[in-house]
Amino acid sequence: MLEINNRIISPSSDPYIIAEISANHFGSIENAFKLIYAAKESGADAVKLQTYTPDSMTLNSTKKDFIIKDGLWKGYNLYNLYKEACTPYEWHEELFKYANELKITIFSSPFDSDAIDFLDELNVPAFKIASFEIVDLNLIKYAASKGKPLLISTGMASEEEIDNAVRIAKDYGSGELLLFHCISSYPALTEDSNIKLIKTLRQKYNIEIGLSDHTLSNTASIASISMGASAIEKHFILNKNSKGPDSAFSVDPKQLKELKNATTQCWKALGSGDFCRSKNEQKNKIFRRSLYFVNNLKCGEIISEKDIKSIRPGFGLSPKYLDQIVNKKRVLKNVFVGDRVQWNILD
């Protein structure tokens, strides 16, 4: 279990939904405000930013190493991609203030130590380490040292790399830690989701596990709840027709609301796992089988096998008592076809 802004994140609570704004503000702070408002209206528990500059991410180089060869961002120079996608530092204070006014949690992914210090000064309630940074153990160590909940995505990571990240986070942090199972494809295929790994991660590390979902539907997210996921992160956009670096794998307000509702319903459907039956189910016990007289009998007659039968409804004695009654009990009064078999009329 961990807690962010007094919100408990665990399988015993409804799923914690994070709307990842990322590059979907398209360089407009007004769009960023609208995204935060729409996330709140759609039922998200938190919105998340990414805190970096192009210079903190890469070099401004056109050498072939710095040109994306294929995929969603094919042809982009890394520096220009991050320049287009970044959330300017000067926006952060206003966005944090606005989110706090709306009473929706806001936090961010830092990508270097300066970003961690900057966010810490803004009193960010948690840090999120992106999948591509899980191998940067110094970054994890420094973020953990701030004593706040740490969320780490595991996309592309080997078991050893996850081991190292968890060890550093635990050794240097508060102990409040959540791993996001993640498939770092953009968009990811549902059939690649490997949702069962969520249960494996929870059993191995004994910490909270979530899903950072880059698929185009809610199927993987809903399935993850049944595997014990306590948090879901999805990239969030105002309009699916808008085009930007992250638009192809982002959900709009309608889809985010559907995600919130569907994962919450799945969580409720899991129940407690005990043998307690629901109150709504109890009333239908009257339609079970029970014992009824199918022949008229006079007071004092012994009940034979042909005299009673297990039928619906369920107001008579349970069928389990049939062998205790047939050829062993007498009726204490006249009974008629359709009368219930009850102990108070048997001798």
Give the DSSP letter string of 252-305.
-HHHHHHHHHHHHHHHHHH--SSSPPPHHHHGGGGGS-EEEE-S-B-TTPBPPT
Place of tokens 């706040």: 148
Gap between the Cα atoms of 297 and 294, Å rounded: 9
What is the pLDDT at residue 280?
A: 84
Q: Given this structure, which CATH class describes domain 279-345?
A: alpha beta
Backbone angles phi, psi at 128, to 5 degrees: -120, 125
All residue ranges of the chain with pLDDT < 50 are none
Note whether 16 and 7 are within 8 A (CB): yes
Backbone angles phi, psi at 234, to 5 degrees: -135, 140
Gap between the Cα atoms of 236 and 259, Å rounded: 11
Gap between the Cα atoms of 59 and 79, Å rounded: 6
Q: H or E segment at 309?
A: strand 308-311
Omega before 88 within 30 of 0, i.e. cis: no
Gap between the Cα atoms of 165 and 173, Å rounded: 11
The stretches of 18-156 forming alpha helices (DSSP H) are 29-41, 54-57, 78-85, 89-102, 113-121, 137-144
- CATH architecture of residue range(s) 11-270: Alpha-Beta Barrel (3.20)
What is the pLDDT at residue 21?
A: 96
Omega before 125 within 30 of 0, i.e. cis: no
What is the pLDDT at residue 282?
A: 87
Name the pTM for this structure. 0.89
**If you ran DSSP here, which 8-state letter would residue 189 be given?**
P
Note whether 209 and 202 are within 8 A (CB): yes
The 3-class SS string of 221-264 reads HHHHHHCCCCEEEEEECCCCCCCCCCHHHCECHHHHHHHHHHHH
- Residue 244, sorted as left (phi over 0), alpha (psi -120 to 50) or beta, turns out to be beta
Gap between the Cα atoms of 8 and 13, Å rounded: 7
Q: What are the angstrom distances between the C-alpha of 238 and each of 98, 101, 131, 216, 235? A: 17, 20, 24, 15, 11
End-to-end CA distance of the chain: 59
Gap between the Cα atoms of 17 and 191, Å rounded: 22
Residue 26: both structure tokens together: 């398209």
Backbone angles phi, psi at 49, to 5 degrees: -105, 180
Backbone angles phi, psi at 123, to 5 degrees: 60, 40
CATH 3.90.1210.10 residue ranges for the chain: 279-345
CATH 3.20.20.70 residue ranges for the chain: 11-270
59: amino acid identity, one letter: L
Which residues have a Cβ under 8 Å from the Cβ of 192 and sit 6 or more positions away? 183, 185
